[in-house]
Amino acid sequence: MKQRLVLVGNGMAGMRAIEELLKLEPEKYEITVFGSEPYGNYNRIMLSPVLASEQTIDDIILNTPEWYAENNITLHTGKLVTEIDRVQQRVVCADGTTADYDRVILATGSNPFMIPMPGIDKQGVLGFRDIADVDTMLAASQQHKKAVVIGGGLLGLEAANGLMKQGMDVTVVHLLDSLMERQLDPPASAMLKTSLEERGMTFMMEAQTAAILGDERVTAVQFADGSQVDADLVVMAVGIRPNIELAQNSGVYCERGVVVDDTMQTYDPKIYAVGECVQHRGNCYGLVAPLFEQAKVCSNHLAQLGYGLYEGSVTSTKLKVTGIDLFSAGDFNEGEGDEVLLMQDPSQGVYKKLVIRDNRIKGAVLYGDTMDGTWYFQLLREGTDISDFRSTIMFGQHDLGDAGHGDEARVAMLSDSAEICGCNGVSKGDIVCAIQTQGLFTLDDVRAHTKASASCGSCTGLVESLLASTVGSGYSAAPSKKPVCGCTEHSHDDVISAVKTHELKSMRAVFDFFEWKTPDGCAACRPALNYYLLARWPEEYQDDAQSRFINERAHGNIQKDGTYSVIPRMFGGLCTPKDLRTIADVCDKFDVPEMKVTGGQRIDMLGIKKEDLPLVWKDLSAAGFVSGHAYGKAMRTVKTCVGKTWCRFGTQDSTGLGVKLEELTWGSWMPHKFKLAVSGCPRNCAEATIKDFGVVCVDSGYELHVGGNGGIKLRMTDLLCKIDTEEQVLEYCGAFTQLYREEAHYLERTAPWVERVGLEHIKQCVVEDEAERKRLHERFKVGQKQSQIDPWKARAEGAEKNEFRSIEVVEA
Amino acid sequence: MSKWINVVALDQIPLLGSRVVRNGELKIAVFRGSDDQVYAIRDACPHKQGPLSQGIMHGNSVTCPLHNWKIDLTSGKALGVDEGCANLFPVRVAAGQVQLQLTPEPLAE
Ligand code: SRM
Ligand SMILES: Cc1cc2nc3c(=O)[nH]c(=O)nc-3n(C[C@H](O)[C@H](O)[C@H](O)COP(=O)(O)OP(=O)(O)OC[C@H]3O[C@@H](n4cnc5c(N)ncnc54)[C@H](O)[C@@H]3O)c2cc1C
Ligand code: SF4
Ligand code: FES
């Protein structure tokens, strides 16, 4: 029999837990949901735009009654649960409805705090929490003129802005001398106040309310100093209190909130709690991003997977007042030993402040230009060392060595028809519409629903900006720890380190160790695991052909018509007349439809039938050619220029060195493609400064450059070091390559890897620590013993022959 | 009624791999799951006719090598937001031999 799960509180956190659970274990529970509001679950944070008439209630519904029905969930709306009978395992409602349970999720949210003062219960005095409050405010704005909002925090200002949009005169009363003091430092707060005043809002700062005056309905607000302000509507937004009444009455242990452990369990093991009603490690949260993380952990335990842990959240805030850009995160009040980076441009209304401790961002406040908020927030949560780009960090991500997108600001100005994802043809309008109508919050959601950013990923930054601007801070930035894929919660780093420290030597061992959710992985994780195992245990791990993308399985590039291309290696771009004759003969013999000189200084034969591949390779390998690995996450080409042998400017033998480098590195499997180049002088004809590893020869030796990329996001290399001899170039190259092979995530090229781990770290391992460099180079050579067995020759001689043969059947 | 034709010994298809069976112009991809379950599907992705036989198989689906559509091998239908369906063919294993019928099943709804 199915277990019975009862959710009390049909809000954002509770329903997110149910949705996550349905993804993991759709059949495990018979689910019943109680909500005291008369609706399905809706996006509470969007009440502000609804109040400002920018959206409607229909726009913000997240789960319709049909959704509950389709998922076999019994929904009771408009029913307040008044008791949890923990002995009988049954919840009881005010109207007598009951439901028996095996497990309960408590997600009762919080209540607006109403300052206890005379007159607080008069008509026209309310909090700002739910649809009913918004309806009341909208109705009041039709009949009345004067509104007072008590509280100059996020919620108060959003309420004030909405009421002003409805035509009311709004006065905001605040106890302290600066607005949103918990999210903003005084200068940003002052800028915000000025710009709200310009829109017509009135402020009374450092004012203490004493009483609400009026008969039945409010007529004025009185202050401690005796003064008064007229009011027909008073919105109280001074804070929220976790709603723990039900838990307390039922004897579930509470302090400020319902106390839970890292698995979101309360003191009663049958009862879980998530959302604003919860107190975790002493903290209560009032923003959705942490609540969603809690929901995920809770569902993980309800599904009995048992490994998710909630360890608390760092939060960030954005104000949803159209036309005002404001962002804050972390701890932005500098303490002793902290440093402050500040940028101010009053005429443009821009203010940015970063608080730095030990070269890491600790807090951020942005006003006027919040484009880089998500980026700073990511650096903050990941604790990234910023020393490498500290001098430009204030100018934002797009100033970072061209590796960023540079055009995120554009996204706000683009028209709805503008194409965002060039691979899948998805427009800005499609994405915004999907975010709004389907209630999407994360990049993965958007990928799944629209396919935007699901292919080459170069538009990821744009999609993230769209998410941030469409759902405000409800946007859960990708978790700092990204799982490898949907088959697991664990990250690439978790896998890389477990493969090493727990000596996992087969794919099954990895699946078992991490309790993979799928029986045999997916097309995303299997190639990654296969690579990690191969890179770590080159002499023991048995490569798994079925976990390789077809190009690597068939050792050629699949073309759109299902034929393949063949690119033999030409070491350093050098070739002989005999080489060219061989290639020409092969093209004639197999009717190759097209021959092309590639961008990598060699020759491509396109349009070869799969069955012919072993035959083509046989002829090529007889003439001494080996695979060019143009199809692999592997070492690709070493581009060279003519160098000192011929060129009047050449300083060293760049062609010869290129050949040696290619002889050292060919055949090596990598996290992603890997390209080298050697230029004979700083004129740099081989374009060495956009390669993964580039050498620029100079009169006195060799400059080594790393982390370049000429592809989707252009990035120029960083200078690693300058050295004296060819032997050194080879050793440094082997060591750098091996470090990348061991540390980078699968499908992460050197450019993003260098940016993630920092050039300093790479210099430390490859340049400064001589012993480490030699160890790395040694490990690289061990791996190469296995890798430099030419796959083409082996297949020409009959290996894997089934891969290339189809089965003919004739109907008798 | 179509008849069963022996095509290949089961152990000649790699686990989580496939073989292509040809009958004139017709190409059928025969897959073998990690539990030895076999599936037969027209070797043309409903998206742009990519050769599904060349994709990575996982569980009872295959990811097309050209643009990563995921196809369910029990229904022939594209999974996720993509829409499309490929023909399945009756297939079974008898005495270690994979047997196939060359007349496709009707497309799934
Ligand atoms: C054949 C070639 C184009 C040509 O006719 O010249 C080529 C062809 C392809 N490139 Fe390329 N690239 C070729 C040189 C380049 C270069 C130029 C270079 O290496 O100097 C670049 C930019 C430099 C760089 O990589 O930094 C380049 C950047 C890319 C990228 C973007 C990589 C990135 O990190 O942003 C991709 C997509 C990917 O890898 O995910 C790509 C992907 C592809 C694929 C493999 C697309 C695919 O997945 O099927 C193309 C295969 C066609 C085929 O079937 O043969 N190709 N590609 C070149 C082969 C060179 C060789 O001899 O091996
Ligand atoms: C106007 C507004 C703007 C906001 N803006 C943002 C923002 O920009 N960014 C951000 O991150 N967060 C924002 N928030 C906060 C965010 O909405 C909350 O953090 C979130 O909704 C809390 O989710 P929850 O599930 O814990 O509580 P809720 O969403 O409040 O859900 C609790 C539900 O439980 C029901 N309930 C309570 N007790 C019982 C009972 N005994 N029986 C049955 N049902 C019961 C309640 O009626 C309610 O529907 C905003 C909030 C408001 C009000
Ligand atoms: S640029 Fe590269 S990936 Fe794009 S069409 Fe040309 S060869 Fe293909
Ligand atoms: S042809 Fe299969 S995904 Fe495009």
pLDDT digits 0-9 by tens, A666-683: 999 999 999 999 999 999
Domain count across chain B: 1
Interchain pair B22, A802: CB under 8 A: no
List Cα–Cα distances, A660 to A574, A648, A730, in angstroms: 12, 22, 8
Do A457 and A448 meet the contact criterion of CB atoms below 8 Å apart? no
| Selection from A132, A161, A130, A133 nearest residue A147 by Cα | A161
CA Rg, chain B, in Å? 13
List Cα–Cα distances, A575 to A588, A625, A655, in angstroms: 19, 11, 12
Give pLDDT, residue A404. Answer: 38
Pocket lining: B64 vs ligand 4, CB cutoff 6 Å: yes
Give pLDDT, residue A712. Answer: 83
- Report, as an integer, the average pLDDT of A459-473: 76
What's the N-to-C CA distance of chain B in angstroms? 23
Percentages helix, strand, coil for chain B, rounded to the nearest 5?
5, 40, 55
- Both tokens of residue A335? 């303490």
Give pLDDT, residue A323. Answer: 74
Lowest mean pLDDT among A234-248, A285-299, A681-695, A739-753: A285-299
Do A629 and A548 meet the contact criterion of CB atoms below 8 Å apart? no
Mean pLDDT of chain A: 91
Pocket lining: B53 vs ligand 4, CB cutoff 6 Å: no
In a domain, B102, yes or no: no
- Does residue B68 belong to the interface with chain A, where contact is any CB pair within 8 Å? yes
Does the pLDDT value for residue A406 go beyond 60? no
Ligand 1, pocket residues at CB < 6 Å? A 557, 559, 565, 567, 596, 598-600, 602, 604, 630, 636-637, 673, 675, 709-712, 749
CA Rg, chain A, in Å? 32
Pocket lining: B55 vs ligand 4, CB cutoff 6 Å: no
Note the helical H segments in A515-653: 525-536, 550-554, 577-589, 613-622
Pocket lining: B8 vs ligand 4, CB cutoff 6 Å: no
Which distant-in-sequence residues (6+ apart) come within 8 Å of A238 by Cβ?
Answer: A113, A115, A150, A151, A153, A156, A175
Q: What is the CATH number of the domain that holds B21?
A: 2.102.10.10
Which distant-in-sequence residues (6+ apart) come within 8 Å of A306 by Cβ?
Answer: A300
In a domain, B99, yes or no: no
Does the pLDDT value for residue A478 go beyond 60? no
Does the pLDDT value for residue A401 go beyond 60? no
Do A131 and A35 meet the contact criterion of CB atoms below 8 Å apart? no
Pocket test for ligand 1, best of A405, A672, A673, A685 (most atoms within 8 A of CB): A673
Does the pLDDT value for residue A520 go beyond 80? yes
| Selection from A316, A252, A266 nearest residue A290 by Cα | A316
What beta strand segments (E) does A535-609 contain? 557-558, 564-566, 594-597, 603-608
Comparing A403 with A414, which gets the higher pLDDT? A414
In a domain, B8, yes or no: no
Coil, strand, or helix at residue A150?
strand
Do A239 and A227 meet the contact criterion of CB atoms below 8 Å apart? no
Interchain pair B21, A550: CB under 8 A: no
Do A492 and A745 meet the contact criterion of CB atoms below 8 Å apart? yes
Interchain pair B23, A523: CB under 8 A: no
In a domain, B73, yes or no: yes
In a domain, B26, yes or no: yes
**Rounded distance, CA B10 to CA A607, Å?**
31
Pairing assessment for the beta strands A110-112 and A278-280 based on DSSP bridges: unpaired
Residues of A in contact with B50 (CB under 8 A): 562
- Does residue A522 belong to the interface with chain B, where contact is any CB pair within 8 Å? yes
Do A402 and A715 meet the contact criterion of CB atoms below 8 Å apart? yes
Residues of A in contact with B56 (CB under 8 A): 522-523, 526-527, 546-550
Comparing A427 with A50, which gets the higher pLDDT? A50
Taking the centre of ligand 3 as the mean of its atom positions, its distance from the CA of residue A738, in whole angstroms, is 28
Provide the 10 A C-beta neighbour count for residue A206: 10
pLDDT band at A706 (very low <50, low <70, confident <90, very high): very high
DSSP state of B88: B
> Mind listing the pLDDT tens digit for each residue in A153-192?
999 999 999 999 999 999 999 999 999 998 888 989 999 9
In a domain, B80, yes or no: yes
**Rounded distance, CA A360 to CA A88, Å?**
52
Lookup result for tokens 């017709």: B26
Provide the 10 A C-beta neighbour count for residue A378: 18
Going by CA atoms, what residue is nearest to atom 53 of ligand 2? A129
Does the pLDDT value for residue A688 go beyond 80? yes
Do A324 and A192 meet the contact criterion of CB atoms below 8 Å apart? yes
Pocket lining: B39 vs ligand 4, CB cutoff 6 Å: no
Name the minimum distance, in Å, from the CA of A453 to any CA of chain B.
13
| Selection from A206, A210, A180, A207 nearest residue A115 by Cα | A210
Residues of A in contact with B14 (CB under 8 A): 545-546, 802
Residues of A in contact with B27 (CB under 8 A): 806
In a domain, B103, yes or no: no
SS (H, E, C) A91-148: EEECCCCEEECCEEEECCCEEECCCCCCCCCCECEECCCCHHHHHHHHHHHHHCCEEE
> Mind listing the pLDDT tens digit for each residue in B28-83?
999 999 999 999 999 999 999 999 999 999 999 999 999 899 999 999 999 988 88
Comparing A92 with A320, which gets the higher pLDDT? A92
Which ligand 1 atom sits nearest the alpha carbon of residue A458? 35
- Does residue B97 belong to the interface with chain A, where contact is any CB pair within 8 Å? no
Q: Which of B17, B22, B27 sits opposite A546 (nearest CB)?
A: B17
Do A330 and A362 meet the contact criterion of CB atoms below 8 Å apart? yes
The residue segments making up the domain with residue B85 are 14-89
- Does residue B79 belong to the interface with chain A, where contact is any CB pair within 8 Å? no
Interchain pair B55, A523: CB under 8 A: yes
Q: Which of A523, A548, A554 sits opposite B58 (nearest CB)?
A: A523
Lowest mean pLDDT among A141-155, A269-283, A300-314, A540-554: A300-314
In a domain, B52, yes or no: yes
ipTM, two decimals, is 0.73
> Mind listing the pLDDT tens digit for each residue in A185-236?
898 999 999 989 999 999 999 999 999 999 999 999 999 999 999 999 999 9
- CA-nearest residue to B62 within chain A is A523
| Selection from A163, A142, A154, A322 nearest residue A235 by Cα | A163
| Selection from A311, A307, A316 nearest residue A293 by Cα | A311
Taking the centre of ligand 2 as the mean of its atom positions, its distance from the CA of residue A10, in whole angstroms, is 9
| Selection from B28, B19, B66 nearest residue B47 by Cα | B66
Q: Which ligand is nearest to the CA of A707?
A: 1
> Mind listing the pLDDT tens digit for each residue in A253-304?
999 999 999 999 999 999 999 999 999 999 999 988 889 889 999 999 999 9
**Rounded distance, CA A511 to CA A526, Å?**
10
Lookup result for tokens 């937001």: B81
Q: Which of B23, B50, B58 sits opposite A522 (nearest CB)?
A: B58
Coil, strand, or helix at residue A482?
coil
- Does residue A451 belong to the interface with chain B, where contact is any CB pair within 8 Å? yes
pLDDT band at A577 (very low <50, low <70, confident <90, very high): very high
- Does residue B74 belong to the interface with chain A, where contact is any CB pair within 8 Å? no
Phi, psi angles (nearest 5°) of residue A580: -65, -35
**Rounded distance, CA A606 to CA A618, Å?**
17
